Structure 1
């Protein structure tokens, strides 16, 4: 489910967050099934980890800029997810997702499966 041009949620593909900073394209991909997380800058892998926690941080340096991507899941039931990018400790972009009752249960179900499947696997 594409929420906008920069955020994509899928049971099979997981979550993808895309940021742009100083003509650099920074992408965080989180697998819904394996817990694998990967950060790409201009399609080059710069950080990866496996994680099933509700809070994760990736830090890397690129062209003299210290980037930090932080993903935090406040509540699986409410679907509250925050993903933020900072560059040299200055906030660049933050995406905040939450379940909207008017849209039905599709988003909530997707979020629950994205985060609960790795725990059971």
Structure 2
């Protein structure tokens, strides 16, 4: 496959799914001769679906699940995104044509399992923010 521009913002040159902090989530599927690609921003929640470089669906989703429905050349498709692990940034993408599963891909920002220092750091940050909020609230309450 040669690199081809998709939309105005990136080039579709990868034939596999991946994720990184800069480009976000990228899912690649094939259905016969058609290349079906989804791009999801990890920062803004914007999800865009392309078929053969043509944008067929786009909207912002800030939930843990979303579903894109689109028709292409007489076929009905659904692309479903499911957040499997918010701490790891793990998002699964399913492509369904009619009632048949075409593909299923799962990628994660943090692939290290059981990172205890991340958990300890998040807990410490939560504790510090909670204490700061309590101190400020108490200061206002006492005058």
TM-score relative to the length of structure 1: 0.74
1:83 — aligned with what? Answer: 93
**How many angstroms apart in 2 are the aligned matches of 1:29 and 1:43?**
12
Name which of 35, 40, 55 aligns with 2:45.
35
Name which of 74, 79, 100 aligns with 1:69.
79
CA offset digits 1:61-116 (Å, max 9, x no partner): 001111110010022125443211011111111113464539x79xx9xxxxxxxx
Query: Which protein, 1 or 2, shows the higher relative CO under an 8 Å CA cutoff with sep ≥ 6?
Result: 1
1:54 — aligned with what? Answer: 64
Q: 1:48 to 1:86 in 2, by over 3 A?
A: same
2:123 — aligned with what? Answer: none
Divergent runs of 4+, >2 A: 77-81, 96-102
Give, in angstroms, the shift of residue 10 of structure 1.
1.2
Structure number with larger C-alpha Rg: 2
TM-score relative to the length of structure 2: 0.63
- Higher fraction of helix: 2
TM-align CA RMSD? 2.4
Aligned length: 102
Query: Is 1:11 aligned to 2:26, yes or no?
Result: no
What runs of 5+ residues in structure 1 fail to find an aligned partner? 109-121
- Higher fraction of strand: 1
What runs of 5+ residues in structure 2 fail to find an aligned partner? 1-13, 119-143
